[in-house]
Structure 1
Amino acid sequence: MFRRRRREQPEAVADQEPAAPTHESGPWDADEPHPDTDRIDLGGLRLPHNPDFDVRLASLGDQHVGVVVLYEDSSLQLQALAAPRTAGLWDEVKTKIMAQAKTLEERQGPFGTELAGEVNIDGDVRAARYIGVDGPRWFLLAAITGPGALDERVSGAFIDFVKDVVVVRGDEPMAREEPITLSRPHERQAAGEPDERPAFSPFKRGPEISETR
């Protein structure tokens, strides 16, 4: 299992009273007030700790491009992307997904408009639910697949998980839809290392799932 990140606040201000969150739930931006709880630190994402979930990194080559959360017979996939300062990405990404999976339909969910139905990935037909959240200069895509996409108990557990995710966008320039860097706990890329991250594609099975115990 991943090791949790104990504190969200720098040591210099650890004794100060944290500011109250400005909304009821996340996903949170790292620079906004949010609950200071134990989280799994993956660099670009900080994830809430749930002992029932098996959290793994999804990789293409040596690049960590997302997170896979396994629970019972279902999975939650998370990917954080850089977004323009003036506009969100969900409407655009939603159109791309619907063009590839015509069985998906729009419906209203806890984060606004989402997509639900079935998808065919390399001949494997599975129930699916796509959720998009536009943040400040970032976009978070959550995809629930398997029986949990239809089971409110399982999907509810995944939704609660997403609501407590913290996205760490950083200040560096990034291309539109460029995956925000992820890494294993305490693992950070060396400064100046070339970064050739793969383009976003929600239907490719390609990413390999790596587990840290």
Structure 2
Amino acid sequence: MIFSRKRAAGRHAPDEQVAEVPEGVEPAPARGPYDVTEAPDGVQRLDLGSLQIPAVPDVEVRVQADPQGVVQQVVLVHGQSALQLGVFAAPRSEGIWGEVREEIRQSLFADGATVEEVAGEYGTELHARVRTDDGPTDLRFVGIDGPRWMVRAVYQGEAATRPAAAGPLAHCLDGLVVDRGVEAKPVREPLPLRLPREAGEAAAQAGQADAASAPGAR
């Protein structure tokens, strides 16, 4: 099952949101990804459970799920670029991106990819060129450590080789909200994602329609 949503440009784009911070209240960070406890209000987001993705004009959100509705992959697409998102549990005491990054680097290198570490907006990134059936493909791995979570973002296409081309996709990453939950989870375990409510309702209706039209249903 694949759910896809595209936000068209309109009057209320996310970059037009302006929120006043009440006196005595700590302002939210100027840039995300945000923990759900500090996310700014007044922003339209697609709720996938542990991840809430801001609605950005002309960005298509593609969500792939199994028949039970468990989300397996989240990819944002804009033009010739794509951004794959994942979110994982992390310890309270320290971030894990440095450790995860080294494991990704070693795995890519073992597969024959060329890999280099590059300073990016969120810290050290991995830039890789991997071999695929369609020829060489460029990837850019970005990791962001938060309070008891880590977001892993992988850019593909033009945004992988030219960060300035990420544009709206980078805006989505900056505005991402993580809802870690309070349950104890093993470090690095993927945080649970789910289909949006409207997609789940559509899937249920489709299932009922299939059952009604099946032989012997009447």
TM-score greater than 0.5 by the shorter chain: yes
Aligned residues of 1:44 and 1:182 also touching (Cα < 8 A): yes
Aligned residues of 1:65 and 1:79 also touching (Cα < 8 A): no
Q: CA deviation at 1:17?
A: 5.2
The separation in 2 between residues aligned to 1:41 and 1:67, in whole angstroms, is: 12
Q: CA deviation at 1:32?
A: 1.8
Q: CA deviation at 1:33?
A: 4.5
For residue 85 of structure 1, what is the amino acid of its counterpart? R
What SS class does the counterpart of residue 197 from structure 2 fall into?
Answer: coil
Match of 1:174 in 2: 185
**How many percent identity over aligned positions?**
35
The Cα RMSD (Å) is 2.7
Q: CA deviation at 1:137?
A: 0.6
What SS class does the counterpart of residue 31 from structure 1 fall into?
Answer: coil
Match of 1:34 in 2: 40
Greater fraction helix: 2
- Structure 2 vs 1, CA of residues 114 and 3 (structure 1 numbering), >3 Å: closer, same or farther? closer
The equivalences for 1:125-140 within 5 A come to 125-140=136-151
Match of 1:77 in 2: 84
Match of 2:120 in 1: 109
TM-score when normalising by structure 2:
0.72
Q: CA deviation at 1:117?
A: 3.0
The equivalences for 1:36-75 within 5 A come to 36-59=42-65, 62=68, 63-75=70-82
The separation in 1 between residues aligned to 2:85 and 2:36, in whole angstroms, is: 17
Which of the two has higher C-alpha Rg?
2
From 167, 175, 189, the equivalent of 1:156 is 167
- Structure 2 vs 1, CA of residues 86 and 66 (structure 1 numbering), >3 Å: closer, same or farther? farther
What SS class does the counterpart of residue 167 from structure 2 fall into?
Answer: helix
Aligned length: 178
The separation in 2 between residues aligned to 1:152 and 1:110, in whole angstroms, is: 9
Q: Which runs of 5+ in 1 are unaligned?
A: 5-15, 190-213
* Mapped pair 1:98 → 2:105: yes
TM-score when normalising by structure 1:
0.73
Q: CA deviation at 1:181?
A: 1.1
Output one character per residue of 1:5-47: Cα deviation in whole Å (capped at 9) or x when no partner. xxxxxxxxxxx95955342200000012424311111111111
Match of 2:157 in 1: 146
Match of 1:86 in 2: 93
Q: CA deviation at 1:65?
A: 3.4
